[in-house]
Amino acid sequence: MTQPSSHYAVDDVPAVGASAAKRGFWSSRMAFILAATGSAVGLGNIWKFPYITGENGGGAFVLVYLLCIAIIGIPIMMAEVLIGRRGGHSPINSMRTLARIFKLSPRWVWLAGMGVFASFVILSFYSVIGGWATSYVLTAASGQLSGQSADAIGAMFSGLLGDPVRLLIWHSLFMGLTMLVVARGLRGGLERSVTILMPALFILLLIMVGYASTTGHFGEAARFLFQPDFSRLTTQGVLIALGHAFFTLSLGIGVMMAYGSYLQQDISIARTSVTVSVLDTVVALLAGMAIFPIVFANGLEPGSGPGLIFQTLPLAFAQMPWGSVFGTVFFVLLVFAAWTSAISLLEPIVEWLEEMDGMNRVTSTLLAGGLCWLLGIASILSLNACPLAMFPLFEGKTIFDLLDYLTANVLLPLGGLTVAVFAGWFLKRATLEEELALPQPWFGLWYSVLRYISPVAVAIVFVYNLF
């Protein structure tokens, strides 16, 4: 990290400038893009996007998701990064600082507090799924997949879900790895590895798309993903698409605020936010194009739920030449993508504990990670065929479904809505102009979208889903 000077013209924030300079900055625009992409690209793109698309009928859902990214996600990402850079601290203290400078209610800090809570809940089940992905590294590497039929591969996955002890071991391993990096502050090294791993993941996805195009069902998959059939879209589906736009871009919980606080003043927030969002979206669409041809070629059910990628991609690895090698590399990269996202979830909680109690980093990590790990066990026990699956809460939902629903579809959009209102209505326009340094009409466009369209769209989707 380097130490450029920062200078603000339109409001008086000397303390922030000093603190930001002390904390250091990303070494380059690229470093920020890599870290933010590392957080954004994860299980959300490769595991969650395909399965919720399958469950919600395809094309129309994808269209709504893309619209949400463009008109809600990107403007709110810019606002989050902006708040972080202007505030110059961890999310909670950035909000506190800005609220003080602009003479606003100190209650705005609760927004960041809600983000910490949401990070905690997301990480608990994210680590369980990260554990599934980690276990598939071994499955692929041991050659167990080669030549297997769709049924055998389905049975392998159900076997994993039905075995709480194995799930616990993999969940513990994944969470342990995440805690290790956060406790030792190894972020720098990890971010550098993103430079190699992200492009590698991208290339492997392209290879998988190439393989999928040989199944003879590529056109069917493309129609499923890109030809909107609005009769298959429900209001619930619209909420899920909106929630996923927040989840996949790591928005609404302060991650982008935290990363923004290390961004130099001369780097364009708009360009970097658009770059990160486009990269994230491309990865999700590629994952869809890799998975759905296999689904259709093998007569699988697109709406089969969270196991979708674990039942389809292994089938491709079972059939293609060098499948065990490709499979191993693919799952290693997936674990890495999940790991960089998990770290970005744990980091703000740990930072908050450190600031609040003056606890040291290792103790904070052990406490926060340990509690997430415990909550993860509740998700494990609620998965199919495990003891708690007998007590489905709320309309047949498991604890895992419920935590996923509560965070992605309620807390994140609510966090994003509040960020839009805070930046759009409570910060000074001159401050926003100075931070974004965008020429007209771009600034005006962003400002109106952030003030009116993004919050109203989120509110409408919420209200519709209440009734």
Q: How far is the CB of 210 from ligand PHE (least distance, A)?
A: 24
Q: How far is the CB of 281 from ligand PHE (least distance, A)?
A: 11
| Contact between 76 and ligand PHE per CB under 6 A | no
212, 296 Cβ separation under 8 angstroms: no
* Tokens found for residue 282: 């491309």
Q: What's the sign of the alpha-carbon dihedral 207, 213, 215, 220?
A: positive
| Contact between 255 and ligand PHE per CB under 6 A | yes
Closest residue to ligand PHE: CB criterion? 44
CA 166 from chain center: how many Å?
Answer: 25
Out of 250, 298, 379, 398, name the contact with ligand PHE by CB under 6 A.
250
| Contact between 57 and ligand PHE per CB under 6 A | no
Amino acid present at 228: P
Q: How far is the CB of 78 from ligand PHE (least distance, A)?
A: 17
Out of 39, 53, 94, 431, name the contact with ligand PHE by CB under 6 A.
39
| Contact between 97 and ligand PHE per CB under 6 A | no
Site for ligand PHE in 263-292 (CB under 6 A): none
23, 261 Cβ separation under 8 angstroms: yes
Q: How far is the CB of 48 from ligand PHE (least distance, A)?
A: 7
Which of 249, 329 has the CB closer to ligand PHE? 249
Nearest-angstrom CA–CA distance, 211 and 118: 38
Nearest-angstrom CA–CA distance, 234 and 59: 13
Site for ligand PHE in 306-365 (CB under 6 A): 341, 344-345
Instruction: Work out the burial of residue 189: count CB atoms within 10 Å of its CB; fewer than 13 is exposed, 13-18 middle, 19 or more buried.
Output: exposed
Which of 66, 389 has the CB closer to ligand PHE? 66
Distances (CA, A) of 38 to 197, 277, 332, 343: 10, 12, 15, 9
| Contact between 42 and ligand PHE per CB under 6 A | yes
| Contact between 45 and ligand PHE per CB under 6 A | yes
389, 383 Cβ separation under 8 angstroms: yes
CA 140 from chain center: how many Å?
Answer: 25
Alpha-carbon torsion, ordered 286, 287, 289, 290, to 10 deg = 120
Q: How far is the CB of 137 from ligand PHE (least distance, A)?
A: 18
Out of 34, 43, 77, 175, name the contact with ligand PHE by CB under 6 A.
43
170, 126 Cβ separation under 8 angstroms: no
Site for ligand PHE in 110-149 (CB under 6 A): 122
Which of 45, 418 has the CB closer to ligand PHE? 45
Distances (CA, A) of 330 to 269, 278, 361: 32, 22, 33
Write the DSSP string, 76-94: HHHHHHHHHHHH-S-HHHH
Out of 144, 248, 312, 418, name the contact with ligand PHE by CB under 6 A.
248
Q: How far is the CB of 25 from ligand PHE (least distance, A)?
A: 21
Distances (CA, A) of 313 to 128, 174, 211, 218, 305: 19, 21, 11, 15, 14
* Residue range at the interface with ligand PHE (CB under 6 A); choices 41-49, 143-151, 169-177, 415-423: 41-49
Out of 25, 51, 125, 247, name the contact with ligand PHE by CB under 6 A.
247
Out of 20, 40, 183, 458, name the contact with ligand PHE by CB under 6 A.
40
Nearest-angstrom CA–CA distance, 188 and 182: 11
* Residue carrying structure tokens 């969650």: 48
Number of residues in contact with ligand PHE under rule CB under 6 A: 15
* Residue range at the interface with ligand PHE (CB under 6 A); choices 218-226, 235-243, 250-258, 327-335: 250-258
* Tokens found for residue 425: 């209505």
* Residue range at the interface with ligand PHE (CB under 6 A); choices 20-28, 188-196, 248-256, 458-466: 248-256
Which of 114, 297 has the CB closer to ligand PHE? 114
Q: Where are the alpha helices (DSSP H) in 323-388?
A: 323-357, 361-382
| Contact between 177 and ligand PHE per CB under 6 A | no
Nearest-angstrom CA–CA distance, 267 and 387: 52
Residues that bind ligand PHE (CB under 6 A): 39-40, 42-45, 122, 247-248, 250, 253, 255, 341, 344-345
